Structure 1
């Protein structure tokens, strides 16, 4: 199962770079478009004390609800199936506690597996991988610095943005 099957966002990956002056930040943003092929809707420049910071960092906020629904549905089913397979192993192995009431064993393992899957979905839904980018951008904005945020569609775009931004800034953060 791939991340794309669970996450509904158009831009699931983020890369940010902090700059001490506006000119250097704008140069990096231009280079992302010219050299790395990013479109203007994938690049955001966050100004010091920017009131639009939240929107610029999390462009796909509308898709987050869809990610929550999709991740919970998919991972609950995966967990329940894993629970059923594990129950089948125990019943097939002939354990007394499993063979005396196999229906209950299958039911309990399916429910517990589904619940564990949904707990994993909760972790996916809160997107802890975005925290480094969000924290760096908020801190920079608060301290009067500029940040370039790149919204990448896939791992390849994320790596291209990361490599290019490292030539312009020593403070680069990225999501998973």
Structure 2
């Protein structure tokens, strides 16, 4: 199951670019609105030591709780079903311990599978794919730099935003890279 199926956020992808001055950051933000077609509510310019940095990095806080509930329900059920399938295989294979108490085997493996599913849901809900972007923005803000943060609807939009920001900044980071083996490389501009 693709994590995007259990994420309730409308704009789950994040791209950021770090700038040394406000003018260049504002130019990049303006270009995102005109060239990439993002609305201004999905583009944020984070100032040095910005007190509203958290809100700009995560503008959909109510969706995070929905993601938590949705992912726990979906992945918990999937895990329980996988546990039941494994139990059926073990009982069908004729293991003495499994055939002696098939009800217990089904019950225990369904519970264990459900728990593993819910643990997986916790990983999805934490949004580890955003950690690089959050860390870059936090570091830039504390070191007196400006950051443009853009929230994208899908992978294609994220890629367009990333390519456009590379024209303005040498430091561009994106959540969950499209190609895990090759992280976003800074451009020289």
What's 1:70 paired with?
70
- State the 1:26 CA deviation: 1.0
- State the 1:3 CA deviation: 2.7
Partner Cα distance (1:108, 1:158) in 2: 42
- State the 1:133 CA deviation: 0.8
Q: Give the TM-score taking structure 1 as reference length.
A: 0.96
Q: Give the TM-score taking structure 2 as reference length.
A: 0.90
Pairing 1:133–2:97 present: no
- Which consecutive residues of structure 1, in runs of 5 or more, have no partner in the other structure? none
What's 2:5 paired with?
5
Q: Tell me if the contact between 2:84 and 2:109 (Cα under 8 Å) persists in the aligned partners.
A: yes
Which protein, 1 or 2, shows the higher relative CO under an 8 Å CA cutoff with sep ≥ 6? 1
Helix, strand or coil: the match of 1:49? coil
Partner Cα distance (2:165, 2:83) in 1: 44
- Which consecutive residues of structure 2, in runs of 5 or more, have no partner in the other structure? 177-189
- State the 1:151 CA deviation: 0.4
Larger mean CA deviation between 89-98 and 112-121 belongs to 89-98
